[in-house]
Amino acid sequence: MDIFKFFTEQVLGMKWLSDLVTSFVESVLNLDVASRLGGDIQLFIYDTIKIFLLLSVLIFFISYIQSYFPPERTKKILTKFKGITGSTVSALLGTVTPFCSFSSIPIVDYKKSCTLNY
């Protein structure tokens, strides 16, 4: 069970990154993270690095998944489904296939049976 706790705290919780940024702020910038300014700077640096790492990993995996779903394959899959089932399948495919923005909404065009991302 210690391995699960370690994985949850250190890898998923990124405690290692928080500790690293805390020691950077305290030793290099000579600020106390318990103070308002030190805590804000620590949080800003930590969140910036964390978001960059998470987006990098996410973009890598989404790009890998997208290599298996070219637009022709997506259209071929969606032509098999109609109605509510088609909408559900297109929504599921739309969450995986587009990665041009964070606000992609898959919409089914029933006439052409393909997804549109706005």
Say how many domains are in the chain: 2
> pTM for the complete prediction?
0.56
Which tokens hold the place of 70? Answer: 């070219």
DSSP structural state of residue 115: E
Give residue 114's pLDDT band: very low, low, confident or very high (50, 70, 90). Answer: very low
Whole-number Å distance between alpha carbons of 118 and 54: 24
Q: Are residues 55 and 81 in the same domain?
A: no
The predicted structure's pLDDT at residue 4: 80
Mean pLDDT of the chain: 75
Q: Are residues 30 and 8 in the same domain?
A: yes
Q: What is the pLDDT of residues 68-109, one digit of tens each?
A: 767 777 778 778 888 888 888 877 777 665 555 444 444 444
Asked if residue 99 lies in contact with residue 59, where contact means CB atoms within 8 angstroms, the answer is yes
The predicted structure's pLDDT at residue 110: 40
Q: Domain boundary at 31, 47, 65, which?
A: 65
The predicted structure's pLDDT at residue 34: 87
- Structural domain including 81 reads 69-117
